[in-house]
Amino acid sequence: MAKGDKDPRVKRKKGAQKARAAAKHVKRGADVRKKHKVRKSVHFRRPRTLQLPRNPKYKRHAVPPRRKFDQFAIVRFPLTTESAMKKIEDNNTLAFIVDTRANKRQIKAAVKKLYEIDVMKVNTLIRPDGTKKAYIRLTPDHDALDVANRIGII
């Protein structure tokens, strides 16, 4: 053998050693000593995960919903009692039974829209039977008697 030639047996031994080391790593896993996470609190906090915004494939409703609490739902019916008639004649005031959920501003707007009249002020009360009564005082340029005739109270 020449001086520069290497023995093939030595090469084979090194290869076998490498193969044994690789087999050992495969058998027990590459990273044997895993580090444990150090917990600094005794309470477990759920990790925040990715929350994507909604991306619907189609609209769930074909048309937008109709507003159910409109002027027709607010003003139920006019009152035609004797005391209501006296209010119409003396105080230029109409009396209505309205929805209990409606406030004075909504009642004022609903009456204005339904009967095309200007309202000065609205007084409300809850009756013992649980319904809401509204006294609608009209402006001096509108006569409650005329409006009552137009509505069909009188």
pLDDT tens by residue, 55-110: 999 989 999 888 899 999 999 999 999 999 999 999 999 999 999 999 999 999 99
Distance in angstroms (rounded) separating the CA atoms of residues 16 and 19: 5
Q: Which two tokens stand for residue 152?
A: 């069909």
pLDDT > 70 fraction of the chain, expressed in percent and rounded: 90
Q: What are phi and psi of 2, to 5 degrees?
A: -80, 165
Name the average pLDDT for the chain.
90
Output 24 or 133, whichever has higher pLDDT.
Answer: 133
Task: Determine the pLDDT at residue 66.
Answer: 87
pTM for the full predicted model: 0.61
Q: Which residues pair with 126 in a beta bridge?
A: 132
Per the rule left: phi > 0, alpha: psi between -120 and 50, beta: everything else, 92 is: left
% helix / strand / coil in the chain, to the nearest 5? 35, 15, 50
Strand order in the sheet with 119-126: 75-78, 93-98, 132-138, 119-126
Report whether pLDDT(15) > 60: yes
